[in-house]
């Protein structure tokens, strides 16, 4: 492992001040960063441990929404009564995201930053991968791509983002709050991850030494649900997943939000389907057509055409469960 220096930050200003060089990384739960260092994905020369920063573990009510500190452990978020009752889609996505041991360690701010599980990206040996070595190509394009993208890919990268909570946060129109020595910002969860057409070597829009400090979600979404399809129920990344948030008035759908996971390098909102669902009666035959309308931009790779009907049916199931909830 590459040698590095380590400092434990006692305050947010000191953490930001300690991270002025580009090869500095922040350490929180460590469940992902230490893997990156072990297999050579990242070789930071300086680690700033933010695990004990005050107040970033807290979950606080804000008007009709919630502010979740970036250091809140996944299990603490999933089991918070306000999240369980008002945002079941987020609670369910977290409980399906990892084993109980990992959920006790990993943080809500760190989970969306995890990187693709593309086997070439995670490989130890030299391999064509534009995310590991920009300009080297994409071995997955004509290789082992069974689990990879059906939306938003280019020949430069066909990977998918694996975070489950990120899908729920995109469906909830959450915002990711950051701080940086040059100023913080609010990033819509739908725009946090970078598509390959923008930059095939990038993972998200964070600048070097930009720190996620919290996540804000708006009005309660009690009629919501998350469905994850995976090869084994005990612990596995998703083949596809879907988050759904709905509102019903006078017996018809008045608002719908649908997001898919593990189909692209960012949670993929089905905006056309969301519009088509408004005005439909839950359970009517037109609901399937409305969900299907969200798939006009889907494109399979050489070995993953199965993911298109699987994703459509997963979105439909999440929608059904959301309609039954609340």
Contact positions toward ligand SF4, by CB under 6 A?
116, 118, 120-121, 129-131, 138-140, 157-159
Q: Which is nearer to ligand SF4, 155 or 182 (CB)?
A: 155
Q: Which is nearer to ligand SF4, 98 or 140 (CB)?
A: 140
Least distance to ligand SF4 from the beta carbon of 123, Å?
9
Least distance to ligand SF4 from the beta carbon of 125, Å?
12
Least distance to ligand SF4 from the beta carbon of 161, Å?
11
Q: Which is nearer to ligand SF4, 107 or 130 (CB)?
A: 130
Q: Which one-letter DSSP state was computed for residue 200? A: T
Instruction: Find tokens 């692209």 and name the residue.
Output: 264
Pair 261, 166: CB distance under 8 Å: yes
The separation between CA 324 and the C-alpha centre of its own chain, rounded to angstroms, equals 25
Pair 264, 152: CB distance under 8 Å: yes
Tokens of 234: 């005990």
Least distance to ligand SF4 from the beta carbon of 308, Å?
18
Pair 180, 207: CB distance under 8 Å: yes
Least distance to ligand SF4 from the beta carbon of 307, Å?
15
Q: Which is nearer to ligand SF4, 120 or 192 (CB)?
A: 120
- How far is residue 317's CA from residue 283's CA, in Å, rounded to a whole number? 11
Q: Which is nearer to ligand SF4, 116 or 190 (CB)?
A: 116
Q: Which is nearer to ligand SF4, 123 or 293 (CB)?
A: 123
- How far is residue 248's CA from residue 182's CA, in Å, rounded to a whole number? 43
3-state helix, strand, coil in the chain (%, to 5): 25, 20, 50
Least distance to ligand SF4 from the beta carbon of 212, Å?
22
Q: Is 196 helix (H, G, I), strand (E, B) or coil?
A: coil
């Amino acid at each position: 492992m590459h040698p590095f220096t380590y400092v434990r930050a006692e305050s947010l200003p000191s953490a930001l001040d300690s991270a002025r060089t580009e090869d500095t990384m922040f350490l929180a739960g460590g469940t992902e960063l230490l893997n990156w260092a072990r297999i050579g994905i990242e070789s930071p020369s300086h680690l700033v441990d933010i695990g004990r920063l005050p107040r970033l573990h807290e979950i606080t009510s804000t008007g009709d929404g919630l502010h979740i500190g970036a250091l809140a452990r996944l299990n603490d978020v999933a089991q918070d009564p306000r999240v369980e009752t008002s945002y079941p889609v987020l609670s369910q996505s977290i409980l399906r995201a990892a084993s109980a041991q990992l959920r006790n360690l990993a943080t809500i701010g760190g989970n969306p930053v995890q990187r693709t599980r593309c086997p070439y990206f995670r490989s130890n040996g030299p391999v064509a991968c534009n995310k590991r070595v920009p300009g080297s190509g994409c071995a997955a394009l004509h290789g082992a791509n069974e689990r990879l993208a059906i939306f938003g890919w280019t020949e430069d990268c066909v990977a998918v983002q694996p975070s489950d909570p990120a899908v729920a946060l995109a469906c909830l129109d959450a915002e990711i709050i950051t701080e940086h020595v040059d100023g913080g910002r609010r990033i819509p969860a739908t725009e946090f991850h970078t598509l390959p057409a923008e930059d095939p070597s990038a993972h998200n829009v964070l600048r070097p030494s930009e720190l996620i400090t919290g996540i804000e979600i708006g009005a309660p979404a009690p009629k919501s649900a998350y469905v994850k399809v995976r090869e084994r129920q005990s612990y596995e990344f998703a083949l596809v997943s879907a988050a759904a948030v709905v509102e019903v008035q006078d017996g018809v759908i008045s608002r719908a939000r649908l997001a898919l996971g593990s189909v692209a390098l960012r949670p993929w909102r089905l905006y056309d389907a969301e519009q088509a669902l408004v005005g439909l009666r839950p359970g009517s035959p037109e609901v399937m057509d409305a969900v299907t309308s969200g798939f006009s931009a889907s494109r399979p790779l050489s070995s993953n055409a199965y993911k298109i009907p699987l994703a459509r049916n997963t979105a439909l199931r999440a929608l059904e469960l959301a309609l039954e909830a609340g």
